[in-house]
Structure 1
């Protein structure tokens, strides 16, 4: 078949004019959600259509290639991203159906009845742990469902979890975003990790304070400032030391565990003078007492064993996700393990049988990229290694823990699929849009435009990462998309290339909360499918504000704050 070469200045040979056209699908999506308040699947599908038309009519991409790139993205949107949200919501619904979630709710209240502190424990700390272990939507889906389950308004639960998920994203999925960009750029992962670890700890301190202010205002936030500082500082300090002296793999997991332990212990000896509740909350008081915590149905005491039993589905989930994240296990799950361990070798055989990478017809190695080389295009179907599969295994184990029949288990799974059908369409369409933008060259046009800002590039460098995560929904994908461009531009301008790549990752984390995929996942998790516009309006301004903080920090680190760099 004939090949097609990407063109990055298709409008009169002007990069600026081409960028104005390339940004149209993004502006349309913002308009569709923020202004017209379209349902997510409608906004996503029409945005994909706009992108395909621009790719064909402006960039000259052959119709078949544009359509196949959209299909490739849609498949990736379903697996692994959509699979994660299906499995996560399914697991949550099983705990609700079995009645165990009532005990989970009461056990959280036994630590603190204060909604502000519950948000810190679940949205910030527990969400960060899940981000470090799995990433790809699991932390927002599970933590948002937990918050909604214990009484948070669904929109608040989703919005707070998206905001809280800012700080840990760069080190998500056992450091995948940083490890992935290290290879193609040639910058050692530890060098990038060290710089990211000297940027994000500032957000790790700010974000807990910021999300509580959103919940209750500045005055009520100051009432729990000691707890906020314990949560944020313990996380930030651990994040700094692990990222600088251990590498990118463990900052999220260790920081989250330290934060959870420190805040829980602190709340044993300190509680705010007044308890903050939502207006819709019931007014009964629950306290910690003796051998267990009160707060179950009819006020009965919750013994430690019963609480542990209720939490066991999520403990199993945590264990499996952590296991899935171990590098050697991950290799075996994809059929790439070459070591001598008998168990991993056996797992490797299964992983190989369940891993498929068929080429995308009419697209694979037919698009010639900026470097003059053909671009691979495959359907990446890794069934066993997908985080959603780990969550499904946790759901199977939960079936036995909670003594549910297979009939109930299957019925709940069917209900979950039915509830999430529009959310999956949203995810598939917006990931399809991202793939079209990448394959046609639109993303590169936008990146090259920002890279042409000269001496101001250090300020605009994080915006590339933000844009990349908005387009792809992944800090890893954003780093791979713009990492090389960041390095080349930084070298030309005399900027530390490791700082530019780190800025791409740090800026990207602020785009996670407005990424269409993240919005769809969060809405689906709390039962707000179709309400993407409301959640997008909630998170958009916060994303821009946090991005500007990273932009200013990166710019200052090239001069006034250069002492912060390793």
Structure 2
């Protein structure tokens, strides 16, 4: 079959998702069953994938969906436990005491605390934890999910203590003689070569991710502010850049000195240690604090079913005690993810494994005790004792959490199997490559030597489809390496761009969006969220592609330089507008203060 026609057929499942979920704005529970059916039809009739392979891949997807639901359930249960105990009121007041400015709260909670959680656990856990926490602090549910998804970018390449690099890239490159020869010519083992790629990934992320806090707050004020103003977000450009640098500098240094295990965790912790005291002192911030309009004026589509408004007559909980469950979660996630400690191995020793599902080559394997959901569940139960909750109040937390998960289940139970059928289409009677590889090869064939500019987009496509940076890296790392060699480009740079794009794709991947939406009680509006998070995703792959092209071909009259100039020019203009807005806000503040 003609490669062009085959590529058009391979892209149909993705276009189906975009058409129903993004363009028509159908809820995921209606759109994803159709996308699953379309994928199965194409896999069977065009690729000739055997029925048992389709069934096995589907069951593998169901297993993954159940794991994601377990994580989301744990995150919601944790939050509902804090709500019923009264601790959420203390947490909410704590953020207000740092600053009542919602823009700054979003940066601290999402960009810094969320990056730390990403580094510790991965799995889309940060969005599942951060989104409902923001709702509890007073954000509209849709705004909370949006900003929680936007930070699923820079730190993601180092999620779960470096899994996307150490497992994703390394597994993707393993067994290739070309990779071994390249590493050997540099005096490196494969492991050392992969770690060096991990350092390059952090440099790209450091440059591109620097602007993510600014993106986050401008989208927050534009889509959810009373005046729908981009300038109100730009007014905190100094603080946003300060927070960006406070994370990305230690992030990049740790990646290149210590390796891929700790950049996101250390970047988040060091960033918090720098940024929180600065926020308390009002550094780099407008004098006027920004807030949402009264909740009675919010658009109906902004709110969800998650009700975490604290009871104001609830008993007072000391701040240390209120935050203790999240501290315990963070500590346990780190302890169980460090390979130098035995705790993770203990949890992973309990394995649910089914080989050759439906007589296919697919093996389903799950380690439920190692999932972040198990830790969240255990800490929730422990919290019930810490806060001395009675059976009625703690039972209410379980009941509310269960309702939220049931509402989210249909979407995930179709979206993840659809992904697995798409990915596992390499076993077929037609002799074709898998659908993702067909698409990637077509793209590389079209762009030729300009490939560095689109390499991140290939990684993002993989993450959008697979729902995972790790799996995207597994699928495409060797392809990216081979493409670089074919056109005479340094392979490590292209593989690094793959990992960067794979991280960015997490902002729009369907099951991350469904999971975060479910955690915030916002089931059914996934398409609208993807439309919003597409904006920072496009920025990320565009800027990373431009920088990658310049790394390969240098600065000059070329497409990469033009791409970088566009972003830098827009950034400088945004800073100028932000400066004017900050001066205006400060004048209004001073006028009201003296009036």
- The verdict on a shared fold, with TM-score over 0.5 as the criterion, is yes
Taking the aligned partners of 2:57 and 2:158, their CA distance within structure 1 comes to 28
Displacement, 1:222?
4.2
Q: 1:357 to 1:298 in 2, by over 3 A?
A: closer
Question: Residue in 2 aligned with 1:513?
Answer: 507
Q: Secondary structure at the match of 1:380?
A: strand
- Residue number in structure 2 paired with 1:34: 22
Name which of structure 1's ranges 95-104 and 536-545 shifts more when overlaid on structure 2. Answer: 536-545
1:317 is aligned to 2:354: no
Deviation, 1:537, is 1.9
Q: Alignment partner of 1:357: what SS?
A: strand
Counterpart CA distance in 1 for 2:375 and 2:315 is 33
1:248 equivalent in alignment to 2:260: yes
**How far did 1:332 drift?**
5.1
Selected match of 1:485 from 479, 483, 495? 479
Match of 1:66 in 2: 54
Shift of residue 31, structure 1, vs aligned partner? 0.7
State the partner residue of 1:286.
none
1:209 is matched with 214
Aligned partners of 1:132 and 1:251 also within 8 Å: yes
Deviation at 1:312? 1.3
Measure how far apart 1:138 and its partner are. 0.9
**1:395-426 deviation digits (Å, cap 9, x = unpaired):** 12111112123454344324312222232222
- The residue correspondences of 1:69-88 to structure 2 (distance < 5 A) are 69-79=57-67, 81-88=68-75
Change (3 A) 1:170 1:407: same
Q: Which residue of 2 aligns with 1:89?
A: 76
Greater Cα offset, 480-489 or 404-413: 404-413
> Please, which runs of 5 or more residues in structure 2 have no aligned partner?
175-189, 222-228, 297-309, 426-433, 557-595
Match 2:161 to one of 174, 199, 203: 174
Runs of 4+ in 1 over 4 A off after TM superposition: 296-302
Correspondence for 1:451: 444
Pick aligned residue for 1:117 from 104, 110, 121:
104
Matches within 5 A, 1:63-462: 63-79=51-67, 81-180=68-167, 181-186=169-174, 187=190, 188-216=193-221, 217-270=229-282, 271-280=285-294, 306-329=318-341, 333-334=344-345, 348=346, 351-352=348-349, 354-365=350-361, 377-406=362-391, 408-440=393-425, 441-453=434-446, 454-462=448-456
Aligned-partner Cα distance in 1 for 2:357–2:209: 44
Partner of 1:368: none
| Structure 1 residues 416 and 222: alpha-carbon distance in aligned structure 2, compared to 1, 3 A threshold | closer
Matched, 1:48 2:41: no
Report if aligned partners of 1:25, 1:47 keep a CA contact under 8 Å in 2.
yes
- Describe the superposition over 1:234-278 as per-residue Cα deviations: whole angstroms up to 9, x where unpaired: 111111111111111110011111111111111232253101011
CA distance in 2, matches of 1:363, 1:205: 48
**Structure 2 residue 7 is matched with structure 1 residue 19:** yes
Q: 1:547 aligns with which of 519, 541, 551?
A: 541
Distance 1:215 1:418 in 2: 28
For the residues of structure 1 that align with 2:114 and 2:394, how far apart are their CA atoms? Answer: 26
Check conservation: 2:4, 2:442, Cα contact below 8 A: yes
Alignment partners' CA distance in 1, 2:313 and 2:231: 32
How far does residue 49 in structure 1 lie from its aligned partner after superposition? 1.0
Q: How far is the alpha carbon of 1:281 from its aligned partner?
A: 6.1
After TM superposition, the score normalised by the length of structure 2 is: 0.81
Higher helix content, 1 or 2: 2
1:345-404, CA deviations, whole angstroms, 9 ceiling, x for partnerless residues? Answer: xxx3x642x212221423543xxxxxxxxxxx2111112211111111111211111212
Equivalent position of 2:565 in the other structure = none
- CA distance, structure 1, for counterparts of residue 210 and residue 348 of structure 2: 40
Q: 1:184 to 1:511 in 2, by over 3 A?
A: closer
* Residues in 2 aligned to 1:432 and 1:298: alpha-carbon distance in whole angstroms: 44
TM-score calculated relative to the size of structure 1: 0.85
Report SS of the residue matched to 1:498. Answer: helix
d(CA) in 1 for partners of 2:246, 2:456: 26
CA RMSD of aligned residues (A): 2.4
User: Using a 3 Å threshold, how does the CA distance of structure 1 residues 96 and 423 change in structure 2: closer, same or farther?
Assistant: same
Judge conservation of contact 1:127–1:143 (CA < 8 Å) in 2. yes
2:301 — aligned with what?
Answer: none
DSSP-derived class of the 1:267 partner: helix
On the 8 A contact 2:153/2:504 being kept in 1, the answer is: yes
Alpha carbons 1:420, 1:529 under 8 Å: kept = no
Partners of 2:36 and 2:127 in 1: how far apart? 24
Shift of 1:17: 1.0
Task: Give the Cα separation in 1 of the matches to 2:417 and 2:339.
Answer: 29
Per-residue CA distance 1:113-152 (angstroms, 9 max, x = gap): 0000000000111110000000112100111111111111
Q: 1:33: how far off?
A: 1.1
**Aligned partners of 1:312, 1:438: CA distance in 2, in Å?**
41
- Segment drifting more, 40-49 vs 415-424: 415-424
Q: CA offset at residue 164 of structure 1?
A: 2.0
Q: What displacement does 1:75 show?
A: 1.1
Q: Is the 2:99–2:280 Cα contact (8 Å) retained in structure 1?
A: no
Question: Which consecutive unaligned segments of at least 5 residues does structure 1 have?
Answer: 1-11, 283-295, 335-347, 366-376
Contact 2:32 2:411 in 1 (8 A): yes
Question: Partner of 1:3 in structure 2?
Answer: none
CA distance in 2, matches of 1:16, 1:147: 45
Deviation at 1:189, TM superposition (A): 2.4
Aligned to 2:493: 499
